[in-house]
Structure 1
């Protein structure tokens, strides 16, 4: 599935990036997304023929992902849409460019305002569809190598083996599970 080659990240503009965790803001399970740029051309007539020139450019990002009532990002999209709040949004190509410590991911960043958020339910699945309007323009750049937990979300929930009696406490607090 080609969508697995991309990482999407949406964070409300009022949340500091340093406080944004991957589990709360990376859109996992995305079934489809698009980034559309549209140039509203201007028409003029010259010598009984139509001529076109560039006009206003508009960008829209659309994302579809599975419904999960505990997923923070969906609640944020819903709130931002209801109240016209801005969000920061990244589209990151998971393919690494370069080698070693200098390896980077091509990325697109934009400030967005959700235009719509809809819950779509059928007999097989429940999905959220979000349409985001880009403020002014998106910008292309590079992100440093993403952590493996983001590139392969199944790794984020891995539990290491521990012997009987090795630890006392919860998964979140025991030393052997939080290395």
Structure 2
């Protein structure tokens, strides 16, 4: 079970309530910070200086057709659009779920498959830098995706009418 979740939001977000999409079935991921260095030889010894710093995210997910989070990466690279990305720890620390946020461009999107697995691998290059923050609360469906499914709760006979998906409380039943 992954100890992180990834959320992606289109930079030109038109989603209701400015929400982001959970990237389903996150199996592996990385947040890398790397530096370009310049070399100087001084008295026969090599000295190094920083010239620039770059960051990137890489994610591997199980391919789920129709997953809105996974689709955002493909839409972004094809339309040459930026995305907002959050990498969130699923365990609270000091009352918050620690998160790393950044604006990114999709450098590479690949679909890898064999007779046992069908995965998507994505590399995101961060624009300038990431920022650290946190969430006081997260939707339970993000922390445990199994709760996003339908759950049948106990009801008294005659309390509702209609199918599970379209049930209505019967007036006077107290439901």
**TM-score normalised by the chain length of structure 1:** 0.84
Could you report, residue by residue, the CA deviation over 1:49-102 in whole angstroms, capped at 9, with x for unpaired residues?
Answer: 11101121111100011112211122221121122210000011111123xxxx
1:60 maps to 56
2:118 equivalent in structure 1: 126
Alpha-carbon contact 1:35-1:59 (below 8 Å) kept: yes
SS of 1:97's partner is: coil
Distance 2:116 2:61 in 1: 14
5 Å-filtered alignment, 1:32-51, equals 32-51=28-47
**Partner of residue 20, structure 1:** 19
Comparing 74-83 with 86-95, which one deviates more in the overlay?
Answer: 74-83
> Which of 149, 162, 167 is the equivalent residue of 1:168?
162
Matched, 1:113 2:112: no
- Give secondary structure in 2 for the equivalent of 1:136: coil
2:89 aligned with 1:93, yes or no? yes
- Which structure 1 segments of 5+ residues have no match? none
Q: Secondary structure of 1:69's match? A: coil
Which has the larger Rg? Answer: 2
Cα distance in 1 for residues equivalent to 2:74 and 2:84: 15
RMSD over aligned Cα atoms: 2.0
Equivalent residue of 2:92, what SS?
A: strand
* SS across alignment from 1:150: helix
